[in-house]
Structures are given as C-alpha cells and as structure tokens.
Structure 1
Amino acid sequence: MTTEAIYAKLLPIIQGYLPEDVDPKEVQPDSDLTRELNINSAHLVDIVLDVEDTFDVAFANEDMENLRTMNDAIAIIHKKIN
C-alpha cells in the first residue's frame, strides 16, 4: 500500500476525533496530534484501535511512544503492512 493510500484511509479516522474547535482542514501530515490538533490521550488510544482495525495491524507499546504526527502513524502502518 502506498503512503498516499495510507494517508487517504488515515485522514478520516483522525478527523473523527478532532475537538470541535479544530477545523478538519487543519490536519496536515506533520501536524502534532496532541499539541496542534488537541487530540487527548484517550482519543489517541481510540485512534490506534481504529487504525488497527482498518489496516489489520497491531501497534506495540513502542509504536505508541513514537506516535506524534500523522507522518509517524503513516510510517508505522507502512512498515507493518509492507
């Protein structure tokens, strides 16, 4: 799966957990999920669960520690499925 295909499937997942005060158009590949997009840690766990279901992968604790931006998520997913 290409990076673009992963991004296309990941974007709606991330956008579904944005707080009301964050415009979905603000989501960029290098956006920090917690600091810039204001996604709280509980929703970050929900995002990971959705990603695991969508891409049929499993995130390890190390993956969670390295998950800061959409690019990080894309890299983790890409590594696991390719």
Structure 2
Amino acid sequence: MMNREEIIALLKPIVITYAPPSAALDHINEESDFITDLKINSANLVDIVLDVEEKFDITIDNQSMEKMLTVKAAIDVISDKLNEK
C-alpha cells in the first residue's frame, strides 16, 4: 500500500500540468488548496481527477470528487480508494 508521501509524489506532476505558472507550485503540500493556492479552475479540477483515476487505477465518484478541494483531501480520497481495491 502507498503512503502519503508516495501519493503526493505522484499527485504533484498531475497538478503542475494544470496550474498556471503563477501558482505556488514549489510549495505544494497537504494544506494547499487547489483553487485558492494553486489557482486551478473547476474545469481543470475535473481533469486532475480523471488523471488521478488513470494514474492510480481507481474510480472517484462525484461525492468524493466534491471533497477534493485541497491536496490533503485528494490524498485522503486516493488513499481510501486504494484501500478499497
């Protein structure tokens, strides 16, 4: 099973793909908010979720997707889905 550090290491490159250059990408951590800190719009959040599903081979339902507003929440959702496999 993956730990939080492994998940965030795989999550960062996905997030960076969709964040504008002005975002605080060097400082992505569990407290980072996708919209306010990383300047990711809601359409790109959906793209991130799709990429996460592919990368981790999981399915993220709408209820879980709505929770994924911070890096910590995304890690929690990914971790939960991996544990369900």
- Under TM normalisation by the shorter chain, which class is it? over 0.9
Pairs aligned (count) = 82
How far apart are the structure 2 equivalents of 1:26 and 1:8?
Answer: 13
Residues 30-74 of structure 1, C-alpha deviation per residue, up to 9 Å, x if partnerless?
A: 111011111001110100000000000111110111111011010
TM-score normalized by the length of structure 2: 0.89
- Per-residue deviation at 1:20? 2.0
Q: Give the corresponding residue for 1:26.
A: 27
| Cα RMSD after superposing both structures | 1.0
- Unaligned 5+ residue runs, structure 1? none
Percent same amino acid among aligned pairs? 44
Q: Which runs of 5+ in 2 are unaligned?
A: none
Segment of structure 1 superposing worse, 42-51 or 17-26: 17-26
Which residue in 2 is equivalent to 1:9? 10
Matched residue SS, 1:32: coil
Aligned residue type for 1:6: I
Preserved contact between residue 15 and residue 27 of structure 1 (Cα < 8 Å): no
Q: Following superposition, which runs of at least 4 residues in structure 1 exceed 4 angstroms of deviation?
A: none
Q: CA deviation at 1:22?
A: 1.4
| Mapped pair 1:77 → 2:75 | no
Residues 33 and 68 in structure 1, CA contact (< 8 A), matched pair in contact too = yes
